[in-house]
Chain A
Amino acid sequence: MKLLTFVHFLPVPAATLSELHDIGVTAGSTPILRGVDLVVRPGEVLGLFGANGAGKTTLLRVVATLLRPSAGVATVLGVDVTSPQRFDIRHRIGMIGHIPGLYPELTLGENLDFAASVAGVAPGGVEQALEAVGLLGAINRRAGASSHGMQRRAEFARELMLERDLLLLDEPHSALDQDAVELVNGLVGKIAAGGGAAILVSHDRGRVDAVADRSLELVAGSLR
């Protein structure tokens, strides 16, 4: 009996990291997403491309559990995105949007330090992560005084430090030089190799296809 109870609480590896069935999102009366079905498996790098306004960012926010769909069922890391348990899995999901989420008044180091304190990362993690993206020398530079490319690198450093299971990247290659592009692709590959998954969103199919295992197109809120 005791053994059975113990077994019951063992973590079960999820067969899918994210499953979306017939997802719809509306803004007022305007449909943003319509009937989206999407399955992301461990180890997979999925590319999503589409024109501006196709609903790519909205779809990422649903997968990140930050946006409740108005129709359909979405399960991420084994949790329904509308259930209160979504708060418990958020630290396992990383998202880098096209607008940096750093605090411009804080230095790059302080931004990562805040993330480390909230997420409970061991001391030393910040320097290690910044070094990995080539920003250790800019640790004391304010985010607001850093270039867009540097801010994106710092955000990649944050995701590297937090060791996410699911990484969602919105236009990950924009404003990056070739070294940084390779760095991003390396990070994506590392997460996939560790049993996680990544979704890369872009309007540029060529860049997505270079990294992704498979690619899907989003047209006017529907997947093709």
Chain B
Amino acid sequence: MTPSFTSQVGAVVKRDLRRQRRRGDVLWITIPFGAVALLLMPLAVGTDAGLLQRIGPGMFWLTVMLFGVLVTVGRASVETQAQRDAASLLGLDPAAGYAGRSASAAALLLIYEVIVGAIAVVLYDIEVIGIPWLAVTLVLVAAGLGLLAALGASLVNSDSGGSALVPLLVAPLSVPLLLGATQAYEGLRLGSSILEWMLLMAAVVLSVAVVGVITARPLQES
């Protein structure tokens, strides 16, 4: 019996999240590191409450980009050639593998966003407005970054030490997500339309997903 595409995606997500839970680097290293970065920023710019409130959302999204990329890259590069060969010979569809790795990375990023976001709200006294739209923004950024990191990791053969190049590939491509997320919050704060920013983020997510799925087979074999 050949399992469906979604069953294979589910198996990869379960495997990756289990591995991450046991490794614990997101929970015990990356999240505290992000929180410390947010904590140190007021020491650099001063304690002007108004200024901190204004720059807080931007700072939060910046840490999401920086640490989020590191989380996903770290995750994506922990697979050895022997593990990749074994997964291939199970009949794992490369596109399902890509989708699963992206989904598990996105889930980890979402956890990061929620915890570090709550810390940012407390530290910078950020006004939480338009919660449903904020939730959609968090999901779109997590999905976009997860897809980008999985694509970046596929592009670079991690066994040859090339995983160091993944951030250089992923960071520029994540700029539209950072721009969309900060501008969407600003739009919510000012009461203006945020539709175009949401569409920008959705377009990035969709584009990377399509490119990732289409290139999954050739990249796996290259």
User: Are A and B part of the same complex?
Assistant: yes
Of the candidates A99, A106, A162, which one forms a contact with B90 in the assembled complex, judged by CB atoms under 8 Å apart? A162
Q: Flag if A99 contacts B80 (CB, 8 Å).
A: yes
Q: Flag if B221 contacts A68 (CB, 8 Å).
A: yes
B87 within 8 A of A: yes
Measured in the bound complex, the distance between the Cα atoms of B160 and A74 in whole Å is 27
A39: B residues at CB distance < 8 A: none
B40 within 8 A of A: no
Q: Flag if B11 contacts A117 (CB, 8 Å).
A: yes
Q: Flag if A115 contacts B90 (CB, 8 Å).
A: yes
Interface size bucket, B side? Answer: 20 to 34
A142: B residues at CB distance < 8 A: 22
B161 within 8 A of A: no
Chain-A contact segment, one of B2-10, B42-50, B111-119, B177-185: B2-10
B8: A residues at CB distance < 8 A: 117-118
Q: Flag if B22 contacts A91 (CB, 8 Å).
A: no
Residue of B nearest to A68 (CB): B221
B12: A residues at CB distance < 8 A: 118
A119 within 8 A of B: yes
Measured in the bound complex, the distance between the Cα atoms of B1 and A120 in whole Å is 6
B15 within 8 A of A: yes
Of the candidates A84, A105, A115, A120, which one forms a contact with B19 in the assembled complex, judged by CB atoms under 8 Å apart? A105
Q: How many residues of A contact B (CB 8 A)?
A: 30
- What's the nearest-Cβ distance from chain A to residue B143, in Å? 23
Q: Flag if B22 contacts A100 (CB, 8 Å).
A: no
Chain B residues 65 to 96 lying within 8 A of chain A, measured CB to CB, are 80-83, 85-94
Measured in the bound complex, the distance between the Cα atoms of B94 and A90 in whole Å is 12
Q: Flag if A66 contacts B88 (CB, 8 Å).
A: yes
A86-115 interface code vs B (CB 8 A; 1 in, 0 out): 010011011101011111011000100011
A64 within 8 A of B: yes
B217 within 8 A of A: yes
Q: Flag if B90 contacts A105 (CB, 8 Å).
A: no
- What's the nearest-Cβ distance from chain A to residue B80, in Å? 7
B189 within 8 A of A: no
Q: Flag if B217 contacts A87 (CB, 8 Å).
A: yes
Q: Flag if A117 contacts B82 (CB, 8 Å).
A: no
Q: Which residues of A contact B (CB under 8 A)?
A: 61, 64, 66, 68, 84, 87, 90-91, 93-95, 97, 99-103, 105-106, 110, 114-115, 117-120, 122, 142, 155, 162
Q: Which residues of B contact A (CB under 8 A)?
A: 1-3, 7-8, 10-12, 14-15, 18-19, 22-23, 80-83, 85-94, 217, 221
Q: Given A90-B89, A117-B10, list of 13 further CB < 8 A pairs?
A: A87-B91, A87-B217, A90-B88, A90-B91, A91-B89, A93-B89, A97-B85, A100-B82, A103-B83, A117-B11, A118-B8, A120-B2, A120-B3
List 7 contacting pairs A-B, 8 Å CB cutoff, sorted by A. A90-B91, A101-B83, A102-B86, A114-B11, A117-B7, A155-B86, A162-B90
